[in-house]
Structure 1
Amino acid sequence: MKKLNKPNELRNFLILWGSQTISSFGTAMTNFALIIWAYKQQGTVSSITWLSFFSYLPSILFCFVAGTIADGWNKKKIMLISDFIAALGSLTIFLLYSIDGLKIWHLYIINFILSFMNAFQNPASYVAISLITPKEHYVRVSGMQAFSNSLVTILTPAIATAVLSFGGLETILIIDLTTFAIAFSVLLIFIKIPGIPVCHDKEKESFLSKCSEGLRFLRQNTPIWRIILFFSFIILLASMAGNTIMPAMILARTNNDQIALGMVSSSIGVGALIGSILVTLAKPAKSRTRVIFTSCAFSFLLCETLWAVGQNVAVWMLAAFAGNLPLPFLSANLTAIMRSKVPIEMQGRVFSARDTLQYFTIPIGFFLGGFLADNIFEPFMQNNGYVQQALSVLVGTGKGSGMAVIFLITGTIGFLVSILNVKNSIYKSLDS
């Protein structure tokens, strides 16, 4: 039997992955620089929050429609158009900034448009990767994507800060546009994405029927449906604590030490980076679902609960590293299941339906985390009752202790619901 040549099998993916990683780095630097610029303009957290809001909402609102279009249209053209409009957004910011005309509301509009295009880009990219990657490499490819994302997360703050100091926002935007040009050219010239045969009966279906087909597919496949609903809840817990109040808690407990926050944030990226290397090199797991739920359980146990009980930077860094180390194993195996179980001609719609169901809990988590911290747990822990004294043995006292209690609660719940699903027989079919 002829031996498979892995580099040749993954040639198209490797070229696309490398060029898109370069472009992602340029985009991440721009996003980082614009957050700093927006904060300097208004000096409020809400200005940054609105940037995130407009970067996220359209992707949810248009996800179902975009997934249907991504399934029916040319994947490469969708990706090229989306990238081109993203570049126009960066170019617009560059021109406005150059004439001293950039306002924060310009960024809200641009972020809304880019998020709208991401609703099309994401499902098209999902399907494109499935089309150019052999099935036996799905987990390895997902691990490599996690690796590049982690690398960008680690490098962006340091490099963007240095470039801002010496060259300003204009230089950041020029780098962003240059990296776009590289990625766009590589995709246009060097990447060939196979087409998908179209069933003529499907063509006669109404557009609305096609839009809902992804949701119907999920509802009819109980194990996939259950695992998606599970992660909707998990993402809600993560959004309530880690994604919302972690920076505030660390700043509160270190007297606004931004270096401490930076060290903890970098540890998140390092943990995810090493985890992505390990999952890329590891053999495919016999039970993907067991890896998924075990990774999720230990992430909550090591990250959220250690953030709660830790009261110094060293413990928080350890929690950030150890808690994010298992996450690439989770995401790689979950993505591999979806790619292998969902028919290729439906992946755009199904992945879009999945993203909507999983990620609509993020804004709810953002709201709950901030509300509970400011109005309930922080004031509660400033009192001196028996419950507060008992909790203070674990989370300490003073400013930030209420937020630590939220971490303790979400970490415990996340660990328990994950570990209870490790041997759930309903997911057995997903491992075959």
Structure 2
Amino acid sequence: MSENIPISSYWKQTTVLFLSAQFISLLGSSIVQHAIIWHIVINTSSGAMVAISTICGFLPQIAISFYAGPWLDRFDKKRVNMMSDGLIALATAMIFISFILGFKSIWLLFLALIFRSLGTGIQTPAVNAMIPLMVPREHLVRVNGLLSSFNALTMLMSPVISASIYATKVSPFQ
């Protein structure tokens, strides 16, 4: 981190709010991602469809993340983070609306998974790039450790939560 970047005297409060919001956002996104995959598993009973959904849900994220870091350096990380989270939310809203209207195509879900994955591939590096701008250097390792722990907790909790929600029949996928 450059010495000329001022860190707010409220960095702890800012960091707690930011990490809390990111945890909620990531958990919600991950729950939706897994719910879509559960829906495909249950309704197709096809290993090929599950493989396609997994590829659509994760490959774009991996591919774009190679370029997102250098690209992010040219733009305001806060705005990029909000825009990428907005893309994920928009794709989720489109799925919800299409299912309510009766359009329940598996291919529509694949398309939504691709857009959600692209948004995540941009959002994750943006979040990682924002942490050093908020946190003093001497606390950076601890805060990055917390972010990693939140990510791991999300990966552990989201499949269970999404399966539970899907099983309760309150899901729009039903």
Q: How does 1:2-401 map to 2 (within 5 A)?
A: 8-170=10-172
Contact persistence 1:163–1:171 (CA under 8 A):
no
Between the aligned partners of 1:42 and 1:96, the Cα distance in structure 2 is: 19
Offset, 1:94: 0.5
Between the aligned partners of 1:37 and 1:90, the Cα distance in structure 2 is: 14
Q: What secondary structure does 1:10 align onto?
A: helix
CA distance 1:160–1:14, shift in 2 (3 Å): same
Between the aligned partners of 1:61 and 1:153, the Cα distance in structure 2 is: 20
- Long gaps (5+) in structure 2: 1-8
Offset, 1:85: 0.9
* Count of residues in Structure 1 that have an aligned counterpart in Structure 2: 166
- Long gaps (5+) in structure 1: 1-6, 173-432
Contact persistence 2:29–2:88 (CA under 8 A):
no
Offset, 1:90: 0.6
For 1:131, give the aligned amino acid. Answer: L
For residues 356-379 of structure 1, what are the alpha-carbon distances to aligned partners after superposition, in whole Å with 9 as ceiling and x for unaligned?
Answer: xxxxxxxxxxxxxxxxxxxxxxxx
Contact persistence 1:13–1:133 (CA under 8 A):
yes
CA distance 1:33–1:120, shift in 2 (3 Å): closer
Between the aligned partners of 2:156 and 2:55, the Cα distance in structure 1 is: 23
Between the aligned partners of 1:146 and 1:66, the Cα distance in structure 2 is: 19
Contact persistence 2:34–2:162 (CA under 8 A):
yes
Offset, 1:120: 2.5
Q: What secondary structure does 1:61 align onto?
A: helix
Between the aligned partners of 1:92 and 1:65, the Cα distance in structure 2 is: 27
TM-score of the two chains, using structure 1 as the length reference? 0.36
Between the aligned partners of 1:160 and 1:60, the Cα distance in structure 2 is: 23
Q: What secondary structure does 1:62 align onto?
A: helix
Root mean square deviation of aligned Cα: 2.4
For 2:115, give the aligned amino acid. Answer: I
Contact persistence 2:30–2:154 (CA under 8 A):
yes
For residues 231-258 of structure 1, what are the alpha-carbon distances to aligned partners after superposition, in whole Å with 9 as ceiling and x for unaligned?
Answer: xxxxxxxxxxxxxxxxxxxxxxxxxxxx
Q: What secondary structure does 2:73 align onto?
A: helix
Offset, 1:97: 1.4
For residues 203-222 of structure 1, what are the alpha-carbon distances to aligned partners after superposition, in whole Å with 9 as ceiling and x for unaligned?
Answer: xxxxxxxxxxxxxxxxxxxx
For 1:32, give the aligned amino acid. Answer: H
Offset, 1:167: 4.0
For residues 170-208 of structure 1, what are the alpha-carbon distances to aligned partners after superposition, in whole Å with 9 as ceiling and x for unaligned?
Answer: 299xxxxxxxxxxxxxxxxxxxxxxxxxxxxxxxxxxxx
For 1:48, give the aligned amino acid. Answer: V
Offset, 1:144: 1.1
Structure 1 consecutive aligned stretches of length 4 or more whose deviation exceeds 4 Å: none
Bigger Cα Rg = 1
For 2:38, give the aligned amino acid. Answer: I
Contact persistence 1:79–1:121 (CA under 8 A):
yes
- Aligned equivalent of 2:6: none
Contact persistence 1:25–1:152 (CA under 8 A):
yes
Offset, 1:15: 0.6
For 2:130, give the aligned amino acid. Answer: A
